[in-house]
Amino acid sequence: MDKTAVVAGHICLDIIPEFSSQDKGQTILRPGGLYNVESPKFTTGGAVPNTGLALHRLGFPVNLLGKISQDMFGNEIQGILKREDESLCNHMIIDSSSSTSYTVVINPPGTDRIFLHNAGANDTFNSSDIDDSHLQNVSLFHFGYPPLMKRMYERNGVELSTIFKRLKSIGITTSLDMALPDPASESGKIDWKELLENVLPYVDIFLPSLEELLFMIDRCLLENLKKKEREMGQPMQYFVGQDILESLSKQLLNYGVAIVVIKLGESGLYVRTQSEKNRFSSLSKSITHVEDWIGREMMVPCYKVESVGATGAGDSTIAGFLGGLLKGLPLKEIVNYACAVGAYCVEAVDATSNIPSWEELDKRVSSDWGRMNPVIKKDKFNFESGIFYGPNDSLDPSEGGPKL
């Protein structure tokens, strides 16, 4: 039987008014205006339902651990989850003293989306909300979006590090994902370097996006890349190479995390791991071939699909990575499955409706499924069997063994 995972962290209700194709984006939200819209769509949002439901659809036992209230929005979230599977609500935290988080997503044709977000009960989530009953028979614990949860980022992440330290003390493999803070918010003004130094020694797998990571540990480089993006009319990934990714990942590895997975958007994933075998000793329940994980550096391209929307793509990619880990697969297979689940996600407008079973996923990955060409500068990478291997990679990709 597959091992059980917990997906904890941020959860909200997304309220999405539907606009007709005749609506013009520039007319939305003008003071004093009244605009007719169609019936709204209600969906769950946040790391808990996005990554959690993706794992569930892939066929893994998963407990969802988010905090909601006994109000209209909380009832709607529970209803959505129960329609998927009654058991998905068994570990949800109900706090009647707070309100359920929600986001109004204003998405008229021809313009960028506008998000009106209320953090609600997410801001009160703390280490005491996780008790022993949530951790029984659990081998993997993933936490998502702490920058959107006040108690998780205040005081340089004391509550977050308390959670992860406890999990490691009882032998659970730990995983952490981020969200991009609003620079003008309280979350955007904290010292994220210090928070990561406090938390990452207890995190086995860290999976930020490139922009999130730059915001947190190299704001100057982020601004320079954004400037090039504006001037050249190309995504900032065009101006990133192995040297930048190596530098960023090295800093994270120095903080103590075992496995760094940087999400690169349409360029796929960059993966870097610790070179010390001892760091993987606590992952023995999750990793069966430790030598395959030591001192790795690789970039994994996305699969080719007809993209409809990017909502939840990063969360789904994480679900694919964690699913492969739960199955005890080698790293090379895991990163391919991760990119494949992300590809399935973007074939639909929402985050989880197109996520397949693992059997369907495996069949498609095993087929002649084309890959995209990453726009990341690849001059220092060696290409072999669909993966770009960096100069720091410890294995000879053509032989599957150590470099001589």
pLDDT in tens, 241-261: 999 999 999 999 999 999 999
Contact 335, 296 (CB under 8 A): no
**330 falls within a domain:** yes
Mean pLDDT on 389-393: 95
Give Cα separations from 192 to 72, 185, 214 (angstroms).
35, 13, 10
Q: Is the pLDDT of residue 328 over 60?
A: yes
Q: Is the pLDDT of residue 27 over 60?
A: no
Task: Report the pLDDT value the prediction gives residue 139, as an integer from 0 to 100.
Answer: 93
**How far is it, in rounded angstroms, from Cα 85 to Cα 88?**
6
Beta carbons within 10 angstroms of residue 281's beta carbon: 11
Top-confidence residue, 253 or 28: 253
From the list 10, 76, 75, 70, the residue with the least C-alpha distance to 43 is 76
Mean pLDDT on 273-300: 90
Domain count, the chain: 1
**283 falls within a domain:** yes
- The string over 84-123, giving b where at least 16 C-beta atoms fall within 10 Å of a residue's C-beta and e elsewhere, is beeebbebbbebeebbbbbbebbbbeeeeeeeebebbbbb
Q: Is the pLDDT of residue 80 over 90?
A: yes
Q: Is the pLDDT of residue 269 over 60?
A: yes
Task: Report the pLDDT value the prediction gives residue 215, as an integer from 0 to 100.
Answer: 97
**287 falls within a domain:** yes
**68 falls within a domain:** yes
Task: Report the pLDDT value the prediction gives residue 140, as an integer from 0 to 100.
Answer: 95
Maximum distance among all Cα pairs of the chain, rounded to whole angstroms = 71
CATH classification at residue 177: 3.40.1190.20
How does residue 110 score in pLDDT terms, banded at 50, 70 and 90?
A: low
Q: Which domain holds residue 365?
A: 4-11+46-101+122-402
Task: Report the pLDDT value the prediction gives residue 245, as an integer from 0 to 100.
Answer: 97
Pick from 69-73, 199-203, 392-396: least confident: 392-396
Task: Report the pLDDT value the prediction gives residue 2, as an integer from 0 to 100.
Answer: 56
**297 falls within a domain:** yes
Work out the mean pLDDT of the chain and round it to a whole number: 91
Give Cα separations from 182 to 14, 118, 190, 223 (angstroms).
19, 13, 11, 15
Mean pLDDT on 340-366: 89
**41 falls within a domain:** no
Q: Is the pLDDT of residue 170 over 90?
A: yes
How does residue 1 score in pLDDT terms, banded at 50, 70 and 90?
A: very low
Task: Report the pLDDT value the prediction gives residue 396, as an integer from 0 to 100.
Answer: 65
How does residue 404 score in pLDDT terms, banded at 50, 70 and 90?
A: very low
How does residue 23 score in pLDDT terms, banded at 50, 70 and 90?
A: low
Pick from 24-28, 91-95, 196-200: least confident: 24-28
Residues 237, 243, 248, 249: is their CA dihedral positive or negative?
positive
Query: Parallel, antiparallel, or unpaired for β 173-177 and 12-16?
Result: unpaired
Phi, psi for residue 323 in degrees, rounded to 5: -60, -45
Mean pLDDT on 390-395: 92
Task: Report the pLDDT value the prediction gives residue 323, as an integer from 0 to 100.
Answer: 96
Q: Is the pLDDT of residue 354 over 90?
A: no
Contact 290, 280 (CB under 8 A): yes
**34 falls within a domain:** no
Query: Parallel, antiparallel, or unpaired for β 401-402 and 382-384?
Result: unpaired
Task: Report the pLDDT value the prediction gives residue 112, as an integer from 0 to 100.
Answer: 65
Q: Is the pLDDT of residue 161 over 80?
A: yes
Task: Report the pLDDT value the prediction gives residue 40, as an integer from 0 to 100.
Answer: 86
**32 falls within a domain:** no
Mean pLDDT on 167-173: 94
